[in-house]
Chain A
Amino acid sequence: MLAVAAAKQRGAFALDVRFDLPTPGVAALFGRSGSGKSMVVNTIAGLLKPDVGRIVHDGSVLLDTQQQINVPPERRRMGYVFQDASLFPHLTVAGNLRYAERRAAGSTYVSLDTVTGLLDLGSLMDRRTHQLSGGERQRVAIGRALLTQPRLLLLDEPLAALDEARREEVLPYLETLRDRLAIPMVYVTHDFDEVLRLATHVVLMESGAVIAQGDVANMSLDPHLRSLIGPDQVGAIIDGVVLGFDPASGLTKVRVGRGDLHVQAKDLAVGASLRVQLLARDVIVSTQVPEHLSVRNCLAGLVASIQDDDLGSDLVTIDIGGAMIMARITKAATRELSLAPRMNAWALVKSVSLRGHSFAVAAAPVTSAASPDA
């Protein structure tokens, strides 16, 4: 676990954060630009010293201002991927990687070969850094950070400087690292798509403070998130389990909570974890068993809560047993259906967005990065 508590005054801006992150896992620090996210990762890395603070990672104290403990960044063993990659221009790609490899501390759990393999860096090794594309630069930066054998990988908006196409050149690699190396990551972003793709845990930040935190499924229902991502993005995020592929319909069956969804996908391994996003605007609520409908996905559950979304509609949360679904309906509909908590309800899902899949972290095939010291 990574426990962070830090306060720092910088001009008119006050940072005051406190949060605990489970490790391994990918924690997204999510918030608008200027909310203090980068200050938080710099504090974890040791590049920024808070006025008051305490940072403990898996039992080792990295910072404690009361006890005057402040492990310098060069001894914290935090891999750091900077927004602009910060590759050394006077070295080749191989030179950059070896720079990190030579200074690594602790036992080796990712070798140079593993890194070049995982990130496809083989063909880039002799290049100078200015000959790389933006996506390639970030891949090299990620590889360089990994070669320090870090106990934690910090990524400060690594994709922010890239356009859509270039992002897709990097994101799959980050998913691979998460699933294959099980390396704990703290990932700073203001792009919700990246959170959806990578995060297992979300810390929401605003004006230098943490306003909410929790796992992705819970946070997807959090009212604080709504104001950050806009009404059209609001919806439940559920990590389902692939049950199998039906060749007749061409759909893959996914278990979410106690119900099943049929999604447009194939070639997914049975038992693999599949993250789905059910946008609230795409979910219809029924208080009776729906019949004679074209909608294929229908999940039965109990109404958990009804909240005003401040835009003239209601957000109805339905508990489908181990997972929650959220639907946006008009206030008139709430009245006519006499919706109330604990009522039986059926959620009809018009469309399902697939947000990446992964093998459960527990089943990670490569050596665990949870305790590289061991």
Chain B
Amino acid sequence: MDKVQSPDTAPRQLFESSGVKALLDQLDAELIGLAPVKGRIRDIAALLLIDRLRQAQGLQSQPPSLHMSFTGNPGTGKTTVAMRMAEVLKQLGYVRKGHLVAVTRDDLVGQFIGHTAPKTREVIKKAMGGVLFIDEAYYLYRPENERDYGQESIEILLQVMENQRDDLVVILAGYKDRMETFFGSNPGMASRIAHHIDFPDYSEAELMQIAQLMLARLNYSFDDGAASTFARYVGLRRRQPHFANARSVRNALDRIRLRHATRLFGSDEALTREQLCTLQAQDILASRVFDPRPEALAAEGGSR
């Protein structure tokens, strides 16, 4: 990906020949929805290609700052995309090694004086040449506890994010309102993050697509009755509390597989491949989500 381009290549030709088109198509196929994310990756890829043409003309081309912040509700794909981002940036040639180091506050902050700096530096050293993903970044900053060492970790991160921009990409992630508070109290951090990307909740059609994709990967499929029943299930479940988008869909599919297995378990005849792969409407209808009685839905714990 580091070949010097001749200035006569058209951008569209370069788009295909450099492998960037294949990369974006793969992203489109494997990640459902997430339009703002895909848009941003497309922009970064476009900048990369134009930069190559500029270099061919002898113009300056400085790589952009790539630090990002992902905000959104649970289950909207923040961690998944961060992992893909490391691969994508490596393929685009913006990071050297493309490995991802995922940490939370506990990996960065120490328990006693003098513990935080070495801990944070170790993590940063490991992440150099790749992407550092900090989940629930707002826990780093605890203003109400003056003995908290999170601030020290933030300061080290700020320094590295500024001075070693071409060695390391930092991605912060968390819920939108709490990240906003975090950035509000750390303007230095906010100014170093070039890309604030919000992950919207998935629509019902997108959740259906995600379910189909997950099932295909596990070698299952819905029959027609099951597909429409699942669409109804998603519609009902969305309105209930604690809905975690793709994660809830994955949990639901796991429970459906359990019921499917139980249904087939008592059979006296050998099972066909067809039977082993196909999920039916009755596997879905057993869920409490379809139970019209209010006390069934309000019951603590248990499955849906």
Q: Do A and B bind each other?
A: no
Binding site for A on B (CB under 8 A): none
